[in-house]
Amino acid sequence: MAMLRPPHPGEMIRHDVLEPLGVSVTAAAKALGVTRPALSNLLNARASLSPEMALRIEKAFGPKMEHLMKMQLAYDIARTRARASSIRVRPYEPTT
């Protein structure tokens, strides 16, 4: 069964990776080769995790890219399902 409100991967990266290592956002951004605002946006759930960023995080800190991307997908699916009633599409009916 899918989680109703899976966490944003940025939250997990902040709490389970950076905080235990005592790494600041500035130091992590430098290690990843990205800007501080780009990383901050991810960590604060204002930006989605891209495959490239996931690979950078894997290379620098260890969590597997595939796991991080699955977290992003679960988060995106849950958010989209939550607003499914506002997406108005009728079932396709072939014309004859």
CATH of residue 70: 1.10.260.40
DSSP 84: G
On whether residue 15 sits in a domain, the answer given is yes
The pLDDT score that the predictor gives to residue 96 is 76
Q: Report how many domains make up the chain.
A: 1
Residue pair 34/52 in contact (Cβ under 8 Å)? The answer is no
- Asked whether residue 85 is domain-assigned, the answer is no
Confidence of residue 4 (pLDDT cuts 50, 70, 90): confident
Q: Is residue 2 one of the residues assigned to a domain?
A: no
Residue 62 Ramachandran class (φ > 0 left, ψ -120 to 50 alpha, else beta) = left
Q: CA gyration radius for the chain?
A: 17
Domain housing 60: 9-79
Instruction: Give the model confidence (pLDDT) of 69-94 as tens digits.
Output: 999 999 999 999 999 999 999 999 99
Q: What is the pTM assigned to this prediction? A: 0.89
**Tokens 């290690």 label which residue?**
31
Burial, 69: exposed, middle or buried (Cβ in 10 Å; 0-12, 13-18, 19+)? middle
37 has pLDDT over 70: yes
Q: Which residues contact 64 (CB under 8 A, 6 or more apart)?
A: 58
Chain CA centroid to CA 4, Å? 16
Whether 93 maps to a domain, the answer reads no
Count helices and strands (H / E) in the chain. Answer: 6, 0
Q: How confident is the model at residue 18 (pLDDT cuts 50, 70, 90)?
A: very high
Examine residue 30 and state whether it is found in any structural domain, yes or no.
Answer: yes
